[in-house]
Structure 1
Amino acid sequence: MFVYDGMTRQQNLYGGNSEPAHSTPSSEATPLTSDELLAQQGTAPDMKANQTNQLDLNQQTQELYLTTNGGTNWSFVPLKPEWLRSGSYLLTNGEIPMGYWMDKTYSISKEFSWFIYSENQKELFFLFSTDNGKTWQKSLVSDTAQRIRYRKAQFFADGSGVLVYSSASPEVSSEGLEIFQTNDHGKTWHRNNGTTIGQPVQNVSFVNPTLGFVSTRENLYYTNNSSGSFKEAVVTIPADYQTGGLDLFQSPNEVTQVSTNQLETKFYLLKMSGIDQGKMFACLYRSSDNGETWQFAEQLSEVKPTE
């Protein structure tokens, strides 16, 4: 479970923009030449993968490779592992070990493999391949991505997508959240909005480019106007549960639309009574008003501390 130290600036949640929205100086993606890519130094893995689509780190050469066929073939990924971990990459109990990556900071598939990364702790880039890693393209997301902590991208069937990152500061516990959108599978990005969340961001989940959710360890916020503004959602917590600084919902538990008027997600709650007192459980929640209010549906499985 990813649980992050707090950090950042003053609160500016309900009004939306912390500054006027503007398009980031973006570069339209074009195929990269060999001179623009890292050169492969080691050999590709010679092993079967645990999954059909998988990213592998060669610990000896510190090189990244991907497979989209369970390890029958591997392709070199022209990124340094530390570029994927740019900025803060800490749990409350220490740094996440090399080889573990934040969820939804990359995706592997035959049709579309992509990575969010920064080489210099300032410019944030999007690298992608549509041919199993044979060729690569990159686009600029932001040239002011400093003190980055949480980061994530989601894509939808029509080629649109949302990319977010939070900016952290050691002085205060709030975080600045920057939100970008694409309509062409990440070839170009524009800054859609920016806001400030009063606690460290735990997860961001968009159902579509218009409807999205931001969770901290105690609160849930939603936007229904493409990140133009955010409001706090009402989450009904049963009497024998509590949040208590625990995760409301945690990636990879996304908000999903299960019917025309119903959303679902899992919230992680602490049981406060009975034989399971002190244990954390994933609990199914539903909303019938586009995420404005959430009702408890049922307790699901226990969440172990290592999950």
Structure 2
Amino acid sequence: MKNIIITTAAAMLVTLVIATVCYENANDGIEALNQKETAQKQALKESEQRMKEQEKRLQPIHPNENNKKIGYSLQNDKLQITFDKGKKWGAAPIEREDLFAGEYNGDKQELIPQSFVLTEKLAAFLYGTGENGAVQQIMLTLSTDKGKTWHDSVITEKIQGVRFRKVAFLDEKFGYVIISGDRTMSQEYSTAFVTQDGGKNWKHINNPNVTRLISDGGFIDEKTGFMSYGTINPEAPDLYVTQDGGETWQPSKVEIPEKYDKIFVTAEVPVKKEKYLAMDVNQGPNGDYLGGEVKGRFISADNGKTWQFEKEVQPDEI
């Protein structure tokens, strides 16, 4: 009898040990599953957070396709610039809406073409202050140290509804700004300003007294500049040249071959070549000759007073 009791007790003890081990193993399994589930949830949360951060990360727009290090962004309603492919950003002290002040109906996800300069040595942005449609002050904010410090200068104290705007620098000192405004139908006021001290101070120069809508303009050196007019149904180039820094202007004669009459109608800003000037004349907004993208190349041997046709220029040659 005693042996039976001992045997039974031993069997019960073994059973209890086995049950305890199984229970602990089961708990360990549940705990492992819970830890795995928690880890998966944490990984998912971190992945979602990374995606949100990626969406918020600034995506640079590169104004110069040959230098992808330099770019800007208008995300988060701020103008920010980068010089290292977006690794570091600096904010320009300009309200985003002021960059599009005046008469502008284009894409506001990018800056207005020609309204800014962004290079390794210079960041400069034209903008207007005041309510759209009202008299506005045109300003230029620039930096020569990659956005560490900024300088503000007044281009003009007042202009009604700025439309065309362009800023450019030929070197560290000489630059120009061309603007237009106060448009009524196909007429407007346009004028130019120059700087000799890197954009700190600006001088208002004379203009050709033409009221047609300006299409482009610019200087190729401190003395020689051009203003090109006609954006609504142009039939021939309407180009003016100054050879004395804007003191006086005169019509520039562009000799259009009969074959291209009313085809090449809008002059672009000339460029300097070794012994002459070269200028492309495009087909305007309604051109359809060979698809509308072909331009006429003209050359001048008298610094822009007269122009002779040289050749057609295909889109991939421009």
Return the TM-score normalized by structure 2.
Answer: 0.69
Name the counterpart of 1:63: 78
CA contact (8 A) 1:248 1:269 kept: no
Q: Does residue 295 of structure 2 align to residue 290 of structure 1?
A: no
Return the offset for 1:102: 3.0
Higher helix share: 2
Q: Secondary structure, in 3 states, of the residue corresponding to 1:79?
A: strand
Whole-Å Cα distance in 1 between the matches of residues 224 and 190 of structure 2? 16
Task: Pick closer, same or farther for the CA change 1:47–1:168 going to 2, 3 Å.
Answer: closer
Return the offset for 1:57: 1.3
Return the match for 2:173 from 145, 159, 172. Answer: 159
Name the counterpart of 2:126: 116
Return the match for 1:85 from 66, 84, 100. Answer: 100
CA contact (8 A) 2:178 2:218 kept: no
Q: Does residue 118 of structure 2 align to residue 105 of structure 1?
A: no
Return the offset for 1:279: 3.4
Whole-Å Cα distance in 1 between the matches of residues 160 and 179 of structure 2? 10
Task: Pick closer, same or farther for the CA change 1:49–1:276 going to 2, 3 Å.
Answer: closer
Whole-Å Cα distance in 2 between the matches of residues 151 and 137 of structure 1? 19
Return the offset for 1:246: 4.8
Return the offset for 1:194: 4.0
Return the match for 1:206 from 214, 219, 242. Answer: 219
Return the offset for 1:47: 4.5
Return the match for 1:239 from 254, 258, 271. Answer: 258
The letter for the 1-side match of 2:252 is A
Task: Pick closer, same or farther for the CA change 1:140–1:266 going to 2, 3 Å.
Answer: same
Return the offset for 1:240: 2.3
Query: Over the residues paired in the alignment, what is the CA RMSD in angstroms?
Result: 2.6
The letter for the 2-side match of 1:220 is L
Return the offset for 1:213: 0.6
Q: Does residue 204 of structure 2 align to residue 191 of structure 1?
A: yes
Cα-to-partner distance string for 1:90-124 (whole Å, 9 max, x where unaligned): xxxxx212123333211112321011111215211
Cα-to-partner distance string for 1:251-285 (whole Å, 9 max, x where unaligned): xxx421112x4011211138xxxx95563412222
Q: How many residues align?
A: 245
Name the counterpart of 1:267: 281
CA contact (8 A) 1:265 1:284 kept: yes
Return the offset for 1:224: 1.0
Larger RCO of the pair (alpha carbons < 8 Å, separation 6+): 1
Q: Does residue 277 of structure 2 align to residue 255 of structure 1?
A: no
Return the offset for 1:247: 2.9
Q: Secondary structure, in 3 states, of the residue corresponding to 2:97?
A: helix
Whole-Å Cα distance in 2 between the matches of residues 103 and 122 of structure 1? 20
Task: Pick closer, same or farther for the CA change 1:137–1:45 going to 2, 3 Å.
Answer: farther
The letter for the 1-side match of 2:272 is Q
Whole-Å Cα distance in 2 between the matches of residues 47 and 239 of structure 1? 49
Give the number of the structure whose alpha-carbon radius of gyration is greater.
Answer: 2
Report matched runs for 1:21-32 at 5 Å. none
